Amino acid sequence: MTAAEEAAAQAQLLEDVIATAQRLVKAEKDSSKVTPAYIAEKVKLAAAMFASDPPIPLDEAKAVSTLIQRFSHRMGKATTLKDDAGHIEWLNAARKKDWHYWRRYRDYQESKLSDVVVDGLDESTSDILGLLEDPLRADPWDRRGLVVGHVQSGKTSNYTGLINKAADAGYKIIIVLAGLHNNLRSQTQIRLEEGFLGYETTQGGDPGASIGVAAFGEDLKTNSATTRAENGDFSKAIAKHFNGISPEERPWIFVVKKQKTVLTELLKWIQKRVADTPHPLPYTLPLQQPLPDGKEWRLVTKLPLLVIDDEADNASVDTGEQLFNEDGTPDEEHSPKTINSLIRRVLHSFTRKAYVGYTATPFANIYIHHKGATIAEGPDLFPKAFIINLAAPSNYVGPARMFGKLTKEGRVGALPLSCSILDHYDPEAEAGWMPPNHKKTHVPVHNGQETIPQSLREAIHSFVLACAVRELRGQGLDHSSMLIHVTRYVAVQDHVREQVEEAVRRMRQKITRGSDADELLTQMRKLWDEDFVPTRDKIAEFSTPEELPPPMPSWDDVLAKLPDVLDDIDVRSINGTAKDALDYATPGAALKVIAVGGDKLARGLTLEGLCTSYFVRTTKMYDTLMQMGRWFGYRPGYLDLCRLYTSPDLVKWFGHIADASEELREEFDFMAKAKLTPEQYGLKVMSHETLTVTSPLKMRNAQTLSLTYSGTRPQTILFHRNAAIQKANLDATDALVAALGTKFVDAPKYPRDGEADSWPGARLWQDVDASHVLAFLAAYATHPNATSAKAAVLSDFIAKMLDIGKLKQWSVALLSGGDGVGEPYTFPGGFEAKSLQTRKMDDQPSAKDPAMFAIGVLTDPKDEGIDIDDDVWRDALTRTRAAWKPDPARGRVNPPTSPSGKGIREARDRLGGDADRGLLLLYTLSPYKGKSKAPENLIVPSWEKPIMAFAIAFPSAENGIRVEYEVNLLYWMQEYGPSE
């Protein structure tokens, strides 16, 4: 037996033992008996079942630890917004009785995942399928939805499960739109072979070796029109071999790229070979290419269609601006962009069809106009029928865990895995190894030589150490990867690959030969002692007992492993070929890969066992950045070994994403509880202070932004570094305080149901007329680059609400008290701000706008309750709990004990009486950074008085009042970079 065959046999044995032991443990109904000792006992029993002669080595400890982790997983529930117009409920227990595809896929998944995760997969896929239409329903129907997951959280498993259930239910044509590049399409094809087809596809069309689900059930003779080969996409040559598809056949699956030629050939084939009924619509394909018969459009009436759009926000969205008539109806002569048009024309060829988009970054999809339609393409891809937010298992590592949560004291709870890099670029010289705005002819040079910077050298050392530790922890049969993502240009990637290869070659020579290795080993030992060992202990503090990282081996043991590890490491450019994806499917081949790439690595492609990431891409588009975050996902037994080397600026932006995404998910939960629709959610996304930023091209109207402030809390986080403006804002506050008079509450305090809420350094005015708030906003100068906290736009919204009898009464709170440096300030009426508040400063001003500074967050959620009594507070808590659901991946384990800001804003509007009131919160911020009055610590030159900031808590409202304002696109492009 060769070494590769032996490794494959060991891997298979371990998988078989784990799967069998998992079933044995699952059979125990009394969960209190499922202890580590009980699991170890079942592993021994399973190992005995698979004993062989000669014996194959089995790592029983790894089997036990894997199962302990699996049985400790928890899973939240998916949340759904839906519109049931035209929908007929159909999915019941009777329809599920004779399902074969799902049964074998479930068994296959149970061999790899915990029961909790598989049960969650079963529940969510049934929810999605039930929101589609019954494929046996004969009259025309059209359902379009969106499934929102987390980056690298298992969306492929989810839509594979959905495909299996759809095939069982009777869907006959299943098209999977799998990205833009060959490697992702091929990887998706392989995943579907394993999870749906049960066999390897071949270029000849005949089924190849049995794989995946084939071991868990009968051969279901499922058809695939595409193959795993690099040229296995749908094409004119493949179309020649296919005639029509009869309703009696097993379903056909097509895994295709979102590419013009591919989709055009697929559409032609559907029209020529599958469509059965002429339609009187004169029709042409893109670029005036005639249809096969040259005369008429044809419809498929006998075969129901399911389209799965993987990474649905990428390429599928129509970036052309469709015009609308004065009555709100769409201009039907609009010409959508090519990919969007072709996807819609494929759907428009069927009388019975379902479209389900999958993405972790749905922002572009929400910008699709819900009424967009044309004669040629039919309706646009807005998810009118439903949006589902998937939960992730408790062992998922996403942005919230990676980058922590932002509070007024700064960011807390981040995993200690990010390492700052600054030596890749010299901002003063605008040059260096990898400057942000380099050209495709750029040659990376560091200190005058074509070599990698020290930060990348350290990242490679970190990867080598991680590989060694994984082997010593019994994970030597698993893949390990490093990602280097520094440029979008292939030619520059090739330079980087050559430099990395040279660095690895020199490491290999020094350590293998033991010559001239002292300096290198000293650097690696320092990294081990000062980073790896203490970080393992820090991660242990964040971990549950079941997910505690294994102990660190000794340095001597690591040292002994280094030669073998370095010998195994392969450096590759990932440029979109199918081979990149295929290598991971080779049995027994535990790869150690350093992958150098750009756009091909940016979306969808999974790097198995990703340990180390080196990332300095410059875009700040939120959806693009999120998709580039390949380091999110699952890291069982090696999370403490993972490292992200990136710039402080990008850590800040990923933190913004984590905060804003969580806020939107909470909004989604509340809207689902209120049974609102996807159309109503769309406006909330567009109104979000942070996540308004996707590519301006993906927004239907790129010059204006449409906002609603109902249920939101805009806050000032961008400020002018101008003393005159700061004086004007303080004067505006003085004028408001003087106008509010002497009827106020000092230091508000409420008993609540447990620990009292109090604001010792605050003054509260209640029953304030809206005119005072409008006068303040008219006098206060907000920063022009603020997204939603613009004084003029806020005034416009309040005025529109006043027109319908809302927001007449307000509360105003002036909050002081803190540890900030500054002279005490006395407001009119004798209110003295003796101590000023501090906020964590962002790393601005940037070189682009030195006249601006920013803070991370202004308000504390508790502050929104400063004017509500205990009864309203309890109502807000009830609403918060009703919308709350356990979601361990988001840190939601125990039900909340105090209302969220969103819950308070919900309660403000719906209690009647004076509860329908807004709240203006005024904050006195310190003019100094830190605790020193040194001139260099002054935030605004020549200004030593309080810097005034404000937030407004708007009650939620059912009406659709919205305001529009001009978007500063030039600022967007300068600040966020292009959408790549």
pLDDT digits (tens, 9 = 90+) for 319-361: 555 454 545 555 555 566 788 889 999 999 999 999 999 987 7
Q: CA nearest 585: which of 211, 270, 185, 269?
A: 211
Average pLDDT value for residue range 667-691: 68
Q: Which of 234-243, 379-388, 468-477, 619-628 has the weakest average pLDDT?
A: 619-628
pLDDT for position 977: 43
Helix (H) or strand (E) holding 903: helix 901-910
**Phi, psi angle pair for 656, to nearest 5°:** -55, -45
Residue ranges of the domains in the chain?
3-70, 79-389, 401-656, 713-882+896-956
Give Cβ neighbours of residue 547 (< 8 Å, ≥ 6 apart).
Answer: 69, 72, 395, 636, 639
Measured from the Cβ of residue 888, the count of other Cβ atoms closer than 10 Å reads: 18
At 699, is the secondary structure helix, strand, or coil? coil
Q: Please state the pTM of the whole predicted model.
A: 0.78
Q: Which of 20-29, 203-212, 433-442, 674-683 has the weakest average pLDDT?
A: 674-683
pLDDT for position 626: 63
pLDDT for position 618: 58
Does pLDDT of 695 surpass 60? no
714 within 8 A of 805, measured Cβ to Cβ: no
pLDDT for position 332: 52
Please give the structure tokens belonging to residue 643.
């490292």
Pairs from 839-844 (Cβ < 8 Å, separation ≥ 24) = 839/408, 839/925, 840/408, 840/409, 840/410, 840/411, 841/929, 841/939, 842/652, 843/648, 843/649, 843/652
pLDDT for position 320: 55
Does pLDDT of 130 surpass 90? yes
pLDDT for position 369: 57
Residue 845 pLDDT level (bands cut at 50, 70, 90): very low
pLDDT digits (tens, 9 = 90+) for 919-933: 999 999 999 988 888
The DSSP bridge pattern shows strands 592-597 and 569-574 to be parallel
Alpha helix stretches (DSSP H) within 482-571:
490-513, 518-527, 533-542, 555-568
Q: CA nearest 753: which of 896, 864, 861, 655?
A: 896
pLDDT digits (tens, 9 = 90+) for 589-598: 688 999 998 7
> How much is the mean pLDDT over the chain?
84
pLDDT digits (tens, 9 = 90+) for 611-651: 999 988 655 555 566 656 677 888 888 999 999 999 887 78
pLDDT for position 362: 64
Tell me the angle at which helices 791-803 and 770-779 cross, rounded to the nearest 10 degrees: 160
Give Cβ neighbours of residue 418 (< 8 Å, ≥ 6 apart).
Answer: 402, 403, 643, 644, 645, 646, 651
User: From CA 936, how far away is CA 928, in angstroms rounded?
Assistant: 9
pLDDT digits (tens, 9 = 90+) for 931-943: 888 888 899 999 9
More confident residue, 380 or 859: 859
Tell me the angle at which helices 723-740 and 770-779 cross, rounded to the nearest 10 degrees: 170
867 within 8 A of 765, measured Cβ to Cβ: no
449 within 8 A of 457, measured Cβ to Cβ: no
Question: H/E/C letters for each residue in 806-833?
Answer: CCCEEEEEEECCCCECCCCEECHHHCEE
Average pLDDT value for residue range 377-396: 86
CA dihedral 595, 597, 603, 606 (to 10 degrees): -10
Average pLDDT value for residue range 395-417: 82
DSSP state of 935: G
User: From CA 852, how far away is CA 862, in angstroms rounded?
Assistant: 28
Please give the structure tokens belonging to residue 288.
């005036």
Does pLDDT of 761 surpass 60? yes
Residue 584 pLDDT level (bands cut at 50, 70, 90): low
472 within 8 A of 558, measured Cβ to Cβ: yes
More confident residue, 588 or 56: 56
Does pLDDT of 969 surpass 70? no
- Strand intervals (E) in 731-808: 745-746, 749-750, 757-758, 762-769
> What does each C-alpha distance from 13 to 24, 55, 112, 526, 703 come to in angstroms?
16, 11, 13, 38, 60
155 within 8 A of 128, measured Cβ to Cβ: no
The CATH number corresponding to 79-389 among 3.30.70.270, 3.40.50.300, 3.30.70.1380, 3.30.70.260 equals: 3.40.50.300
286 within 8 A of 264, measured Cβ to Cβ: yes
Does pLDDT of 91 surpass 80? yes
pLDDT for position 659: 75
Q: Which residues pair with 355 in a beta bridge?
A: 144, 307
User: From CA 596, how far away is CA 493, in angstroms rounded?
Assistant: 6
Does pLDDT of 662 surpass 80? no
Of the ranges 147-161, 513-527, 671-685, 902-916, the best mean pLDDT one = 513-527
Does pLDDT of 58 surpass 50? yes
Does pLDDT of 588 surpass 60? no
Please give the structure tokens belonging to residue 910.
């719906």
At 476, is the secondary structure helix, strand, or coil? coil
Alpha helix stretches (DSSP H) within 27-85:
36-49, 60-70
Q: Which of 60-64, 292-296, 843-847, 880-884 has the weakest average pLDDT?
A: 843-847
